[in-house]
Each structure stands twice: as C-alpha cells, then as structure tokens.
Amino acid sequence: MYKTSIAVIGGGPAGLSAAIEAAKAGAQVVVMDENSRPGGQLFKQIHKFFGSQQHKAGVRGIDIGKELLEETQKLGIEVWLDTEVCGIESNKLLWVVKNKTKSVQVLAERIILASGAIENSIYFPGWTLPGVMGAGAAQTFINIYRVAPGKRILMIGSGNVGVIVSYQLLQAGCEVAAIVEAAPKLGGYGVHTAKVCRAGVPFYTSHTVLRALGENKVESAVIIELDDSWNPIPGTEKVFEVDTICIATGLTPLAELAWIAGCRFKYVPALGGFVPLHDDNMETTIEGLYVAGDVTGIEEASSAMEEGRLAGINTVASLGFYSDKQRERLCNEVRERLDALRRGPFGEKRKTSKEEIITSRKEIQCPQ
Amino acid sequence: MDEVKNIICRCEEVTVEEIEEAIENGATTLNEIKRWTRAGMGLCQGRTCRKNIARILSRKTGLDVKELMPFTYRKPVRPVRIELFEEKKNKGDLK
C-alpha cells in the first residue's frame, strides 16, 4: 500500500493547481492521471484565453499548461501517468491501476477529485460509423497528434467548442462544410464565431443532423430544419458530402468516483447535469473528499485552476499546515478572482448555479 | 437506408427502439432500463448513452430529467484486465 497526505485525481488545470498549492505549503502530494501526458485539455488549447490579466488573458492554453508543469516539477510533485483510479472508498482508500498492468492501493489523508468532464453524445442513424467523433477528439487529433481527422467536416454545435475547433480544423488544412446549431441562436463567443464566419463557413441555426450515410465510414450527412417546437420539418433536408462529423453538444461532469464515494449530488443544467455538492472550500458531503474543476460543473480552464487552488489550500489547512487566519486570507484572494471570472452575460449564470450548489450543501447535515 | 439500426448504446449495441420498448413495458428508472436492455453495461459504463436514455425516458413518461438518477456506478470505473485480480499481481509496492 502506498501512503500519501494528499492524492489528486486528474492532472488537468484544476488538479495541477491543487497539487501546486498543497505542495507549496509543504504537504506530500501525488497526482494521478489516466493519460500518458499531464495537463488535461490545456495542451490542445492553442487559442488565447479570455478574462483579465490576472487570469492570463491573451495567453494560450498550451503555454499555461507548460507553466503549470514547470511549477509541478520545481516543487517535486509526484505525477503518476497512465494511472487509472478505478475505485474510491470513503475511508480514503483508492484502488489504482498503473499502466493497465499493476493494481495498487493508495491511502490518502485527503483526496482532491479533479476528473474533468466528458463530451456529450447525440444519436442518429449512422452515428456509430467511423468518422463521427467528439469535437474534442478532433482537437486532440490535430493539436496533439498533428493528424487530420478527415478532409471535409460537418460540425454539430455552435458553442465555444464547436467554433474554436472548427477554426483550428481550418488552420490544420481541413475544410469545414458547415456548422449546424439546433437552437435558433448561435452559442459561442462572438470573437470565435466571427473568425469562422469570416473564413466563409456557413452556419445553419434551427437545424439538426438527421443521419450519416456511408458504407464503412461516413460519406455524407443529412441535416434538417427544426420548427419552433424543435420538431424536424419534412422536406427541408440538405445533404453534405463529408467524411467527418464532429459533435460539439456540450460536456458532462465526469463524477463516477464521487458517486461511488457516496457524495450527495444535485442536477444543475447550467453546470452540465449532476454535480457533487460542495461547500465554499470545495469539500464535498464526504469529509476529506474535495472536488475542483469541470467535475463540479462545466466552466473554463481559468476557473478550474482557481477552484483547484481553493481545494489545495483547504486540504492542507485541514491538515494543520495553515492557521485559520492564513487559510481565510489565502482563500479570499482566490474567491475574489473566481468571482471576477463569473461575471458578464456568460459568467452570471455559472455564478448563480455554483451558489446553488454551495447553498444546497449547507442545507445538508453530514454525518461526521 | 431505413434498415440502419438506430443504436443508442454502442458498447452493447442497444437500439432506441429497445429502450422505448422497455419503457412501454413499464421501466421507470435508468437502472431498470439498464437491467432490461443492457444499455450502459458495456465498456464505457454508460458515459456515452446515459444522458440520451434519460431524455427518452423523460419524454415518454413525463418524469423530469433532474429526478432521473444515473445508473448505479460501481468500481472499477475503468475496464480492468481480469488478471489483475490474481493475487500475485497485487503483491509488491508500486516501484
């Protein structure tokens, strides 16, 4: 059995930020990630981030990832890659599988769950054909492996992921036939949407994909217009000759381990579905189990990093590394930055949704 | 093209029609649908199909999706080789 003070599950922006905060205070930390490289989604985010200077606005995700890794190394934080956390017990025992070949038990005084999110799928006849993939998968193809997923692409979903990945596919030399959006309005930030628009990609609002056609792989896709009640209007079908269909229809928090641990949950559509309740220190309804990042509700890398810091500070404080006064000062700094990130037309909804989670947590009496 | 199966759970190759049939036959929870059809019992353990099935169940029964609890999650949450359960593989420390 391996023993550690703090086990961080997930080496993305939230997990690494949590680990850095905890290690800075002097705690022993181990970060576990199922991927072969750390950094989560940061290394495929070649676009510049938004927000204030404090939040690294104008810096590309990939460079933020590099900074986090440098700090992780400098602090001597142990990072286990190709490591899957397969189970979690409320008494802080993790069942971990390394390289798919070795089973290890890890006993941790505190656990920070930063397992991120998974892309939503949609189904239509033909969606299991090779060539249909998540937009995030296409982004991994081009930005991590430098391989084009196809020649001509149909993007389903006009949110930030849909328009950003469309633009990056164009940069990678692919053709984007169209972006299809089921809602009557486009979903992404104006600046990203406008870039794709200027590149000449047509948008189809109030449309959805009806089916993918092809013998052994996608050869074409049929889309159809939707009426005000989201029902398909017969006779409005359009066919696109494409070899790839990318699905960018949102994300769902990846919280299986929190369910297994026995955390209480709440369904909040604005945060992507069921999310584990947590207090304003990021502790769940299970004592000693903290959460941070997309697993607590879909937001952005900037807020994931702040939540990670908050979880990191509080785990080490609960182990006696900080006085109450120090903890409050450090936490308030982070909370102010988090608040600043959750402003404006896109941020306000997330702010009230996150507050809903914290309020619901307060209403529950937890067995200690 | 109409003979193309409308698959919803690709791990277990369960179709939309099979889900609807289970609901018409009385399934009212995601766990019941899972046990009835095997949807969500495969390699991904419902990570891909769970939300889509919840939406069908909600549409057909009028139940609110926020009341539809996900399938019960069990360890291991990732596919694990059966040989890992052999005692000798579990001995020794990490390094």
Q: Does residue A279 lie in a domain region? A: yes
Query: What is the C-alpha to C-alpha distance for residues A285 and A276, in angstroms, rounded to an integer?
Result: 8
Helix, strand, coil share of chain B (percent; to 5): 40, 5, 55
Task: Give the pair of three-digit tokens for residue A267.
Answer: 């369904």
The answer to whether residue B87 scores a pLDDT higher than 80 is no
Contact A213 B1 (CB under 8 A): yes
Closest Cα in chain B, distance from residue A281 (Å): 25
Any domain includes A368: no
A356 shares a domain with A241:
no
Tell me if A158 is assigned to some domain.
yes
Nearest chain A residue (CA) to B49: A121
Lowest mean pLDDT segment, chosen from A218-232, A270-284, A313-327, B75-89? B75-89
Question: Residue B43 maps to which CATH number?
Answer: 1.10.10.1100
- Among the partner residues B16, B77, B80, nearest to A123 by beta-carbon distance: B16
**A337 contacts A327 by C-beta, under 8 angstroms:** no
CB contact under 8 A, B90 and A103: yes
Write out the residue range of the structural domain in which residue A330 sits.
2-118+251-362
Instruction: Judge if A286 and A338 occupy the same domain.
Output: yes
Q: Which among B1, B7, B16 has the least Cβ separation from residue A211?
A: B1
The larger pLDDT score, comparing residue A89 to residue B58, is at: B58
Q: What secondary structure, in 3-state letters, does A272-300 show?
A: CEEEECECCCCEECCCCEEECHHHHCCCC
**Helix ranges, chain A (H):** 13-24, 61-74, 135-143, 160-171, 190-198, 256-261, 301-318, 324-341, 344-362
Q: Give the Cα separation of A145 and A238 in Å (integer).
A: 33
Same domain, A92 and A159: no
Instruction: Tokens 């940069």: give the residue.
Output: A171
This prediction's pTM? 0.94
Percent of chain B with pLDDT over 70: 87
Domain limits at B22?
A: 7-90
Residue A104 to residue B94, Cβ atoms within 8 A: yes
Quick: pLDDT tens for A8-25.
999 999 999 999 999 999
Least CB–CB distance from B84: residue in A97, A260, A274:
A97
Q: Which of B7, B48, B80 sits opposite A97 (nearest CB)?
A: B80
Is B2 within the bounds of a domain? no
Query: What are A232's strand-pairing partners?
Result: A226
| Section A110-122 average pLDDT | 97
* Residue B95, pLDDT score: 37
- Where residue A361 falls among pLDDT bands split at 50, 70, 90? very high
Q: Residue A299 and residue A295: Cα distance in Å, rounded? A: 10
Q: Looking at A248-262, A268-282, A336-350, B60-74, which range is the least confident one?
A: A336-350
Whose CA is closest to A7, among B90, A18, A129, A359?
A18
Q: Has residue B1 been placed in a domain? A: no
Same-domain pairing of A233 and A300: no
Check residue B88 and give its pLDDT.
Answer: 55
Q: Give the model confidence (pLDDT) of A145-191 as tens digits.
A: 999 999 999 999 999 999 999 999 999 999 999 999 999 999 998 99
Looking at residue A179, which CATH number applies to its domain? 3.50.50.60
Least Cα separation, residue B26 to chain A (angstroms)? 23
Residue B95, domain member (yes or no): no
Mean pLDDT of chain A: 94
Put simply, whether B95 touches A (Cβ < 8 Å) is no
User: Is the minimum CB–CB distance between B56 and chain A shorter than 8 Å?
Assistant: no
Q: Above 50 in pLDDT, residue B38?
A: yes
Are A191 and A268 members of one domain? no
Q: What mean pLDDT is predicted for residues A310-316?
A: 98
pLDDT for res A52: 61
Q: Are A142 and A285 in the same domain?
A: no
In a domain, A224, yes or no: yes
C-alpha distance from A207 to closest chain B C-alpha (Å): 18
Helix (H, G, I), strand (E, B) or coil at A105: strand
Pair (A14, A97) in one structural domain: yes
How many domains, in total, are found in chain B? 1
Domain co-membership, A134 together with A230: yes
Q: How far is CA A337 from the centre of its chain?
A: 19
Contact state of A87 with B76 under an 8 Å Cβ cutoff: yes
Do A178 and A293 sit in the same domain of this protein? no
Residue B62 lies in a domain: yes
Q: Which residue has the higher pLDDT, A256 or A49?
A: A256
The structural domain count of chain A equals 2
SS3 A133: strand
Please state, in angstroms and rounded to a whole number, the distance separating the CA atoms of residues A30 and A25. Answer: 14
Is the pLDDT at B46 greater than 50, yes or no? yes
